[in-house]
Every structure is written in structure tokens, then in C-alpha cells.
Amino acid sequence: MDVVKKQSSGVSDVGAWAMNVISSVGLIMANKQLMSPAGYAFVFATTLTGFHFSMTALIGLVSNATGHSTRKKVPLWELLWFSVVANTSITGMNLSLMLNSVGFYQISKLSMIPVVCVMEWILHGKHYSDKVKIAVVVVVVGVGVCTVTDVKVNAQGFICACVAILSTSLQQISIGSLQKKYSIGSFELLSQTAPIQALSLLLFGPFVDYYLTGKLLASYKFSSSALFFILLSCSLAVFCNISQYLCIGRFSATSFQVLGHMKTVCVLILGWLLFDSELTLKNILGMAIAILGMVVYSWAVEADNKLKPRLQHCPKILLKKTLNC
């Protein structure tokens, strides 16, 4: 029975992760077509995120109304606090991308892995083995090699990048913490936070986008094709949001960051296949190193998980001498 449960749990973990990778990569490809000058030039990224959460909130409302999901009580102040952190993350990322070079933006995203590790250690007392630390370094180096190009930064951009890194790391840690604290499922938590995020992003998003782009949402001429891609983007974002909460609830914020760079590799490959992006030997080498790091990380985490029961059953005196009890 335990073996069956373990296999079922493993299949569920793989399914959640596959959903996140596929929906995230699909969302990036759809947004690239929607927002690029060669596509439909819909440059209002923050407002688009508001549309994403609006659809997520609508699906959550319908699910609760039809009895497919239950609404567990989470204090309003915690939902508001989480929404502020999440929206700060979105705005900070957009500002960081606007004010910094692409190279520094990629470095700031890579720095989230060690930041999440440090924050989990400070907030939850979590410790990492040497094997996990080495694997994290390998992943960071690999993704850095294949994505980082020019690195330029200014004071404003540096501050925005720091805000984005801290708020995104805190948001991802909080997802897992809230689920455990209130014994709430990923979709139930998302359905309660999505309406708050949607409302605030739709209210303030157009002003943020105007500051970023100098263009007004009201001046954009919507076409049927652009509306189709907006709807496609929103649909993919729903799966992306749900799978993010699922993955962090099942794994950890650190694992989500490390394995999440598989999406970076997929985006580079699809960009080369679909959008004629350049794929150099440096990109290929970086991707190979990153994938190796992800494999090593998965092995290291699994080895640590197998070691925990042994540590719990070993007497404290023997633990100092041996782990072979």
C-alpha cells in the first residue's frame, strides 16, 4: 500500500511539474507574439497580468459556486499582505527589465536561488547539504553561461532589481508556508488571492505601464487576432498559476527556482526553432551544464530525503559517531 501511494505521489509530482513547464513556456511564446513589435505590440505587461489574475479569479469563483472546490478560511490581512508582496514582485520585475540590460536582468533572476535558500534558512531554519549546494552552483553557472550577455546597471535599476528579487523570493516561500499553516490546497489559496491581485493590478497596472512605455492602454487598437492571443495568454496563465502553487506546495521554493530553469532552456530552444533566435555554442554549453546541475540537484534532494528517516531513528550519541545505524 505504501509503495502504491509513493508511486501515485511521484506521478502527481511529475504531472504538476510538467504542467508548470508546458504552461510557462507556452505563456512565454504567446506573450512574445502578443507583445513584440513584429507581433501585435501589446506592450502593457502589468495590465496583461491583471487580465491573467482576473480569469484565474473567475475560474476560482465558478469552481467554488459549483462545489468543485471548497473555500477554507485564511485571515484577510494575510491575503492582503501576500497580494502586496506578489504585486510588488510583478512590478519590480517589469521595472528591472526596463531600467537594466538584459544581462543584468538575467543575473538578478539567477540570484533568486541563493536568496531563497538564505530566506528559507532565516525564516524556517532550513539547512542544505553540500551536495545540494554544489548542484545549485552548477545550475546557476550553466544558466548564466547560456543567458547572460551584456551587463549594464544603474542605481535605479539596481534598487528595482533588489526589490524584485526579495519580493519574488518571499512570495514563493509564502505560498508553501500558507498552504501548510492553514492546510489549504494550492487552488483554494490561489482562488482567494487572485481576486485581490486582479483588482489591484487592473487599477494601477495602466499607470505602471504608461510609466514603463509612455503609451496609454486606451490608445491601443484591439484586433480580433490580438484579442485571441490575449485570451490564449490568460488561459495559459491560469494553468501556470495553478501549477506554480502546486509545485511549491509539493516541493519547496528552492526546488521550484532550480528546476524552473528548465523553462529557460526550453524557451531558448523554442526561440531558436520558432523565432529564428540565435543559438550559439556558448548557449548549448550553458544548457548542458544547467541540465547536468538539475539532474544532480534532483539526485541530491532525493538522497537527503532518504537520509532523514535514518537520522530520526539514530540515537543522538550515535549520530555524532556514525550514520550506519
Q: What is the pLDDT of residue 56?
A: 92
Residue 81 is predicted with a pLDDT of 93
Residue with cell 491573467: 52
| Per-residue model confidence (pLDDT) at position 301 | 67
Judged on CB neighbours under 10 Å (0-12, 13-18, 19+), 265 is buried
Contact yes or no for 254/133 (Cβ under 8 A) = no
Domain limits, the chain: 15-311
Q: Taking the C-alpha atoms of 221, 226, 228 and 233 in order, what is their torsion angle to the nearest 10 degrees?
A: -120
**What is the reported pLDDT for 318?**
46
pLDDT at residue 204, as a whole number: 92
pLDDT in tens, the chain (325 residues): 444 444 455 557 777 778 888 888 788 788 888 988 888 889 898 999 999 999 999 998 888 888 777 777 889 899 999 999 999 988 888 888 777 766 677 677 777 777 888 888 888 777 777 777 777 777 777 767 766 666 666 778 788 888 888 998 898 888 888 888 888 888 888 889 999 999 999 999 999 899 888 899 989 989 999 999 999 999 999 998 888 888 877 766 666 666 666 666 776 676 667 656 666 777 777 777 777 777 777 667 666 666 655 545 555 444 444 444 4
The answer to whether residues 20 and 244 touch, using CB atoms and an 8 Å cutoff, is yes
Helices (H), 36-125: 45-65, 76-99, 102-110, 112-124
At 249 the pLDDT is 72
Which pLDDT does position 49 carry in this prediction?
92
Report pLDDT for 193: 92
What pLDDT is stored for residue 4 in this prediction? 41
Decide: 191 and 65 in contact? Cβ < 8 Å.
no
Query: Which pLDDT score, from 0 to 100, does residue 130 have?
Result: 78
What is the structure's pLDDT at 275? 59
Whole-number Å distance between alpha carbons of 47 and 208: 8
Q: Distance between CA atoms of 140 and 95, rounded to whole angstroms?
A: 23
The pLDDT of residue 317? 45
pLDDT score of 259: 64
Three-state SS sequence of 227-289:
HHHHHHHHHHHHHHHHHHHHHHHHCCHHHHHHHHHHHHHHHHHHHHHHCCCCCCHHHHHHHHH
pLDDT attached to residue 7: 46
pLDDT for position 103:
63
Cβ atoms of 242 and 186 closer than 8 Å? yes
Q: Which helix (H) or strand (E) holds 37?
A: none
Q: What angle do CA 81, 44, 80 make, to 5 degrees?
A: 10
Burial (0-12, 13-18, 19+ Cβ within 10 Å), 315:
exposed
Which pLDDT score is estimated for 271? Answer: 67
For residue 7, which phi and psi values (nearest 5 degrees)? -65, -40
